[in-house]
Chain A
Amino acid sequence: MKTRFEVNGREVEVVVEPRLTFADCLRHHLRLTGTHVGCEHGVCGACTVLVDGKAVRSCLMLAVQADGSKVVTVEGLSNDEGLTPLQASFRKHHALQCGFCTPGMITTAHALLSEEPDCDADRVREVLSGNLCRCTGYVSIVEAVLDARAAYKSGTR
């Protein structure tokens, strides 16, 4: 089946089986391997992408369901050079170790901060509770997201 959507500002068209997940489509058909697959049953959050502005689990979406959507992946939330304020905050706070959960964390945090730049620590934890990390223990990730609020409030994200 043909599916057409916009990803990171670029129009794409893919021909896929209905059963192909959107995560697999991004990773293997479009070679956007920044989005990771950690469980394939909607628990770990490593596959989080933005679809029409909302953070979703791309392993729970069929690629064919992306038809007509605007999608942003971690690659689309990055600059060609250097780090965005959110990424820089993660680095400053050592909010990643092996890096596998990181794209999902970045994408989810970006979605949250875009909508709620005034969120508090409890809200950050609540929202990130759907993203599993095995390395950091989360404390530094929460600190990083809170520290990045300033950039979203001032509009310099």
Chain B
Amino acid sequence: MKMPPFDYACPATLSEAIALLSAHGGDAKVLAGGQSLVPILAFRLAAPKLLVDLRKLTDLRTIKITADGVALGAMVRWCDIENDTRLHTAHPLLVAAVAHVAHYQIRNRGTVGGSIAHADPAAEMPGIAVTCEAEIVVMGQAGLRAIKAADFFQRALTTALKPDEIIVEIRLPQWLAGRRWGFQEFARRRGDFALAAAALFYDPDVRGRAANTHVGVIGVADRPLRLPSVEGVLNGAAIDAATIAKAEATTTAAVDPDSDIHASGAYRKALAGTMVERALKMAVEQTP
């Protein structure tokens, strides 16, 4: 399982990195934490001619929290999110989801940008990005552009990134005070990719009914999905047992996952509903 041969560059600036990608067309790949890319190379599922290592781009390692929300530099690692105590209030849903990512050693190197670019359908970060309507900010030869998460993830392992573009930042919208949220994931073992997961939040109105509901599911399609039909069930409703049951059933009806070596499609379909149900219960039980 030795990797195929490639050249390696470790540029000191972002523009250098982009120039390298540009010069090589689709034959160059970005190396961030390497936790997803290196196994792909070890299995010879890809054979890029050049790896462009971003590790010197320290500007991409910051976590900015402002009134506009949370901006994660693309090279921010899972351990950085874990250790940034501001995020417990600034974006608790992000923190809850990231707690499920992989394992201790991987969390010390794996990056937010890497996960987003890799776009595994069962990964937590793309799921959070889609659920929270994040913007993926990328830089290429043509300059900076912000891509809506819903448009960014196209299919399994396929994104809207052009060959010369590098993710620089993931912008999560401002997290409102009083917001209720839930995150539930079930995996075969701790740290595995989700068999299914649900991320959701809503802003209770003055009567305690849900508003601005965002419900996303992970691992049950070729990319993370928002579920407007479920959001429709929840918006304007009191989140009681009946509503939760209806949301669960609506979720199950809304997804059509494939079977694979780990689980049947029917199981995953039901599991998605259970994840939404339990995430809603989690939201309801939160102390404000």
Residues of A within 8 A of B (CB): 1, 17-19, 21, 24, 40-42, 45, 48, 54-57, 59-62, 64-65, 67, 108, 111-112, 126-130
State A17–B7 Cα separation when bound (angstroms): 8
Stretch with Cβ within 8 A of A (4 or more), from B36-44, B195-203, B237-245, B250-258: B36-44
Q: State whether A108 and B105 are in contact (beta carbons under 8 Å apart), knowing that A19-B2, A42-B35, A65-B53 are contacts in the complex.
A: yes
A-B contact count (CB 8 A): 89
Q: Which 5 A-B pairs have the closest CB atoms?
A: A130-B103, A18-B8, A41-B39, A54-B108, A40-B1
Proximity bits, B181-224, A CB within 8 Å = 1, else 0: 00000000111000000000000000000000000000000000
Query: Can you report 23 A-B residue pairs in the complex whose CB atoms are below 8 A from each other?
Result: A18-B6, A19-B2, A19-B3, A40-B1, A41-B38, A42-B38, A42-B106, A54-B79, A55-B105, A55-B108, A56-B105, A56-B109, A57-B106, A57-B109, A62-B31, A111-B104, A112-B104, A126-B104, A129-B103, A129-B104, A130-B104, A130-B105, A130-B191
**B1, B5, B108, B190 — which one has the most chain A CB atoms within 10 A of its CB?**
B108
Q: Do most interface residues of chain A lie in helix, strand or loop, or is the interface mixed?
A: mixed
Residues of B within 8 A of A (CB): 1-8, 10, 31, 34-35, 38-39, 41-43, 51, 53, 55, 79, 102-106, 108-109, 189-191
- Contacts of A17 on B, CB cut-off 8 Å? 5
A108, chain B: closest CB distance, angstroms:
7
- Contacts of B104 on A, CB cut-off 8 Å? 55, 108, 111-112, 126-130
Which listed residue (B5, B34, B39, B79) contacts A19, Cβ 8 A?
A: B5
Q: Is the CB of B53 within 8 A of A60?
A: no
A40, chain B: closest CB distance, angstroms:
4
B239, chain A: closest CB distance, angstroms:
30
Closest B residue to A24 using CB positions: B2
Which listed residue (A1, A65, A111, A127) contacts B34, Cβ 8 A?
A: A65
